[in-house]
Amino acid sequence: MISPYRKTTLLNRVAIASLGAAVVFAGSASARTTQADIDADATSTGDVLSWGIGQQGQRYSPLNKVNKKNVKKLVPAWSFSFGGEKQRGQEAQPVIKDGKMFVTASYSRLYAIDSKTGEELWQYDHRLPDGILPCCDVVNRGAALYDDLVIFGTLDARIIALSQETGKVVWRAKVDDYKAGYSMTAAPLIVKDMVITGVSGGEFGVVGRVEARDAKTGKMRWIRPSIEGHMGYIWKDGKKVENGITGTTNATWPGDMWKTGGAATWQGGSYDHEVDLIFYGTGNPAPWNAHLRPGDNLYATSTLALDPDTGKISWHYQYTPNDGWDYDGVNELVSFNTGGKKLAGHADRNGFFYVLDRTNGNLENAFPFVNRIDWAKGVDLKTGRPIETGVRAGDPTKSKDGKKGESVFVAPSFLGAKNWMPMAYSPDTELFYVPANEWGMDLWNEPITYKKGAAYLGAGFTIKPLNEDYIGALRAVDPKSGKVVWEYKNNAPLWGGVMTTGGGLVFTGTPEGFLKAFDDKTGEELWKFQTGSGVVGCPVTWEQDGEQFIAVPSGWGGAVPLWGGDVAKKVKYLNQGGSLWVFKLSDV
Amino acid sequence: MIKLMAPGMLFIFLYCLTPVAHTEEVSPDPLDSVMWKEMRRSLLGDAPVVFDDQVRVLLPGDAEDSMNVPVLVDATALGKVTRLLVFAELNPIHKVLEMEPRQSKPLIGFRIKVQQATPVRAAALTPDGQWHVGGHIVEAAGGGCTAPSLSSDNEDWASRMGEVSGRLWPGDQSTRLRMRIMHPMDTGLVSGIPAFFINRLELQDNAGDLLTRLFLYEPVSENPVITLDLPKLNVVKVQGEDNNGNPVQARILAGLSGDKK
C-alpha cells in the first residue's frame, strides 16, 4: 500500500468522524455494547443483546414480574407497523439496549424504535436487486449489537453495520454472489469482538461456510467451509493464509459432488463462553437426491463446534448421514448444565431430540419428540448413528424411464419435526419447550445436474398432515427421561420461536395470529392475544423503568405457505401482516 | 452584478417590527417562489444572503425529460467559494447536491430529476460568510421523482452498479473532468423501492490528496454524469459510497476511459 494514499484516507476518515462526533458521543458512554455485556446477556434483564436471549441460546429470562398469577392482565403497551407493501414472513427476534429496540423485517429492513413508547427513531431499507434467490421467503431473523453498531445480513448476501444512533452505514461487506443463490437471513453472532455469520442458499448448491469478521471494521478474520475438501482461510496481518482443508477430500463424498455440496449455514449459530466454542448447524447436502452422493456427506446435517480464534472444527456431530429427506441439520444447539455436566440439546428436523456433551460432541441421549418417525427406528447411543429403516426414495436411474425414482411416504416431512424456529430451555423446570410439527411427505428422486443459480434438488415432494385436528405441537421435553411432559396442539404448523421466563411462563406464537402464554409445568394456556396476522417471530422480554415488557413480531409467512403442499388448506386463510407488538401488565 | 438589498429605510422598518433579531429577507426573490423563505431558513440558516448573478445556473427553460434535466452551476466569478449548495424548491426532496470545492473551481455540471416546474438554485458561500444565490425556473411536465428509475426495470442493474467511466481534458489552466457512475439513484418515493443513492464522492490526486468533495442527494439523476474543473492533473482518483455502503472507486486518466471499479 502506498503510504501517502493511506494517510490521506485516514485523515479523511477523521474529518468525517468529527462531523458526527457530537451525535455519537452524546450519552453513549454507557450505550456501547461490549463482549462482556453480550456474554452476560442471559442474566441481564434490562436488555436483550443477542440472538437466543443469551448466546447459549436458552431463550430464558429470569424476569418474574409477569408470572402465572398475573399474566391474564397482560395488555398491549404499543404496536408498530413495518409499513409498505412488503408484508411477508416476520421471523425476527428484536434486540433492546438502553431504551432502543432494533428489529428487522422482511425484505432486509431494519427499524430502530423507542422501546418505551414505540416511536420510530430511524429505519434502514436495504435496496435489494431483483435477482435475489431466497429459497424460503424474504425473511430476516434479527440483528446483532456490538459497540455502537447494529449489524445484520441481507437477502443479497451483504453484511451491513449501521450506527445505532443514526442508522447510517458504518461498514458493509459483500459475502458472496446472490446470483449463485447466496443470501443471508440469520441473525449474526458476536464472539470475541468478531461478527460471525453463515450463508443461506442450500437449495442452489452453494457451499456453506462460517465467516468471522472484525465487528468494528468488517475486515476478514477467518473462513471455515462446512463441506469436506474445501480450504479454510485465516487472515494474519491482513494477509489471507491457508488454514487447512475441512475434513478429508473424498472421504465421505464421491467424485466432484463435494464442490457443490450444500450444507448451508443458514440458521445462525450460538456461542458458549463456558467452553469457548461456536456452535453452527449445517443444512442438507446438495442435491436432495442422495443416490448421486453415496457416503455420509460430511459435514452436512451436522452441528460444527468451531474454535473462535482459528475457525477450526473442534468437534462435529452428524444427525442424518447421507441425508435423503432434506433433514437439514441447522437447528440450534442449546447449552444447559445438569448433574455437573456441560450438555446441549438439539431438536432435529429428522424427529429425534439429541443431548450432546458440548465439550466433545459425544452423544448422551437421543429420543423422538414427534409421534411418527419412518426413516429410522432410533439412534444407537454407542455409535451415535441412526438405525435406519430403509424408507428412502428410489434411485431414478433404476426406474423404467430413468426420470422418476420410486416414491415413498415418510415422516417427518422435509419441513421438519422442528424447523428453524428456536426452542427454549428453562433451568427452573429443566425442560425444553420445543415447537414441533407432525407431518409427512411423499418424496421421489429425479435426475439433476448443477447449474449456477438454479434450484439444485433432484427431488419432487408433497407434504401431508398426519392428523385431522392438528399439525403444530408445542412440547415440554425432559432431556433426561426423553419424555414429553406436556403438549399444546395447534391446528396450523407452528413456525415461531419460543421463550420461557422466571415467572414460570412459556411464550410462543401461532400462525392463527395469537401470542400465547403457557404454564411451564402443566402446559395450561394462561393467556393469549390476537395480533392480527400469523406470529412466526421470536418473543423477547426485558425490564424498563420497573416494568416487564414482552415483544413479538407479527406477520405470517416463511416456508410453509411456499412449500407446504397439502398443508395449504390449513393455512390458506391466514393473512399477511408486518408489525411488532409489545405487552406489559395493565395499570388498572 | 449584485442586486444588493432593498432601500435602507425599508430594512429599518422591518427590523423594528420584528421582535426577534433575525436576518429578514429584504431584497425580493427574483423568482418569486413560495418556497424561498423556507429554503433559506432550512438550508442557509442565519448567514446573510444576497441574490447574485455571479452565481450562474444554466439549465433548459423546459425540461424535455423530467428525469434528466442538465444543470451547470458556475460560481467562478465569485473567486473563492467554500461551499456550494444546489436545491430544487418544488421537488419533494429539495437538496440536490453539496460541494466543497477546495482545489477545484466552484463549477459543477450534473443532471437532476424534477417533479414539477421548480426554481433550481445554487447558493455559494464565500469566505466572508456570505451566501450568494442564483437560480432559474425550469418548466416540466413532472413526475421525475416518483417514476421508477430506468435501471429498476432492468433486472440486471446491480451487476453494473458502481461502474465509472470518464475522461480528463487537460486545459491551459485546469483539467476538465467528466465522468458517469452507474447507479439507480432511487428517490425512495416510488412504491416498494427504498431510497438508494450515492451520497458521498471524493476526488483525489494520485497521491491521495483531496481535490474536492461532493455530497449527492436523491434528486440527482440515475447514472450520475458529473463535470468538474480541477487543477492540472494526469490522474484523478474517485472514491465514494452510496447510502447502503456500496463503494465507488475509480482512477480516471487523461484521454482514456476510466477503469472500472
- Pick the more confident residue, A343 or B26: A343
Which residue in A41, A326, A328, A348 is the catalytic one? Answer: A326
Q: Considering the domain boundaries, does residue A3 fall inside one?
A: no
Q: Considering the domain boundaries, does residue A411 fall inside one?
A: yes
Is a pLDDT exceeding 90 seen at residue A137? no
What integer is the mean pLDDT of A140-152? 97
B194 touches chain A (CB under 8 A): yes
Alpha-carbon span A178 to A196, nearest angstrom: 19
DSSP helix/strand/coil, A35 = helix
Is a pLDDT exceeding 90 seen at residue A217? yes
Is a pLDDT exceeding 90 seen at residue A214? yes
**Phi-psi category of B48—alpha, beta or left, where left has phi over 0 and alpha has psi -120 to 50?**
beta
What spatial distance separates the first Cα and last Cα of chain A, rounded to whole Å?
66
Is a pLDDT exceeding 90 seen at residue A127? yes
User: From start to end of A246-368, where are the E strands?
Assistant: 270-272, 277-281, 302-306, 313-318, 334-338, 341-347, 352-357, 363-368
Angstroms from B14 CA to nearest CA on chain A: 36
pLDDT for residue A14: 40
Is there a contact between B123 and B44 (Cβ–Cβ < 8 Å)? yes
Average pLDDT, chain B: 87
Alpha-carbon span A188 to A170, nearest angstrom: 16
pLDDT for residue A478: 98
What spatial distance separates the first Cα and last Cα of chain B, rounded to whole Å?
44
Which chain B positions have a beta carbon within 8 Å of A9's beta carbon? 208, 239
Among the listed residues A230, A196, A149, A259, the one whose alpha carbon sits nearest the alpha carbon of residue A55: A196
- With cut-offs at 50, 70 and 90, classify the pLDDT of residue B25: low
Q: Report percent pLDDT > 70 for chain B.
A: 87
Give the domains, in start order, of chain B with CATH numbers: 33-253 (2.60.40.2470)
**HSE-up (13 A, CA, CB side) for residue B137:** 13
**Amino acid making up residue A464:** K
Q: In chain A, whose CA is at the least distance from the CA of B211? A: A8
pLDDT for residue A559: 84
- With cut-offs at 50, 70 and 90, classify the pLDDT of residue A402: confident
pTM more than 0.80: yes
pLDDT for residue A204: 83
pLDDT for residue A21: 39
Among the listed residues A305, A303, A133, the one whose alpha carbon sits nearest the alpha carbon of residue A206: A133
Backbone angles phi, psi at A121, to 5 degrees: -95, -45
What integer is the mean pLDDT of A285-292? 93
- With cut-offs at 50, 70 and 90, classify the pLDDT of residue A6: very low
Which chain A positions have a beta carbon within 8 Å of B210's beta carbon? 8, 12
Is a pLDDT exceeding 50 seen at residue A319? yes
DSSP helix/strand/coil, A528 = strand
Is a pLDDT exceeding 80 seen at residue A566? no
Q: Considering the domain boundaries, does residue A553 fall inside one?
A: yes
- Pick the more confident residue, A303 or A573: A303
Is there a contact between A266 and A201 (Cβ–Cβ < 8 Å)? yes
Q: Considering the domain boundaries, does residue A23 fall inside one?
A: no
Is there a contact between B61 and B174 (Cβ–Cβ < 8 Å)? no
Average pLDDT, chain A: 92
Alpha-carbon span B138 to A243, nearest angstrom: 62
Is a pLDDT exceeding 50 seen at residue A7? no
What integer is the mean pLDDT of B20-34? 69
Give the tens place of pLDDT for each residue, A51-102. 999 999 999 999 999 999 999 999 999 999 999 877 899 999 999 999 999 9
Q: Considering the domain boundaries, does residue A19 fall inside one?
A: no
Is a pLDDT exceeding 80 seen at residue B13? no
Give the tens place of pLDDT for each residue, A501-510. 999 999 999 9
Contacts of B189 (CB under 8 A, 6+ apart): B92, B93, B145, B146, B218
Is a pLDDT exceeding 80 seen at residue B83? yes
Q: Using CA atoms in the order B145, B149, B152, B158, what is the torsion angle rounded to 10 degrees?
A: -110
Q: Report percent pLDDT > 90 for chain A.
A: 82
Q: In chain A, whose CA is at the least distance from the CA of B197? A: A127
Q: CATH number, domain at A66?
A: 2.140.10.10
Lowest mean pLDDT among A205-209, A277-281, B56-60: A205-209
pLDDT for residue A19: 40
Is there a contact between B60 and B69 (Cβ–Cβ < 8 Å)? yes
Q: Considering the domain boundaries, does residue A1 fall inside one?
A: no
**Domain ranges, residue A265:** 31-585
A177 touches chain B (CB under 8 A): no
Which of B152, B244, B248 would you mutate first to test chain A, the one with the most A CBs within 10 A?
A: B244
Q: Which of A12, A109, A160 sits opposite B210 (nearest CB)?
A: A12
**Buried b / exposed e across A268-304, counting CB within 10 Å, b at 16+?**
bbbbbbebebbbbbbbbbbbbbbbbbebbbbbbbbbb
Contacts of A398 (CB under 8 A, 6+ apart): A405
Q: Considering the domain boundaries, does residue A17 fall inside one?
A: no
Angstroms from B23 CA to nearest CA on chain A: 26
Is a pLDDT exceeding 60 seen at residue A399? yes
**Phi-psi category of A331—alpha, beta or left, where left has phi over 0 and alpha has psi -120 to 50?**
beta
Is A326 a known active-site residue?
A: yes
Is a pLDDT exceeding 80 seen at residue A109? yes
Q: In chain B, whose CA is at the least distance from the CA of A179? A: B159
- With cut-offs at 50, 70 and 90, classify the pLDDT of residue A205: confident
- With cut-offs at 50, 70 and 90, classify the pLDDT of residue B26: low
Q: Which of A109, A125, A129 sits opposite B158 (nearest CB)?
A: A129
Is a pLDDT exceeding 70 seen at residue B17? no
Is a pLDDT exceeding 90 seen at residue A194? yes
Is a pLDDT exceeding 70 seen at residue A1? no
- Number of independent structural domains in chain A: 1
Q: Considering the domain boundaries, does residue A7 fall inside one?
A: no
Is a pLDDT exceeding 90 seen at residue A426? yes
Is a pLDDT exceeding 50 seen at residue A573? yes
Q: In this predicted complex, what is the ipTM?
A: 0.77
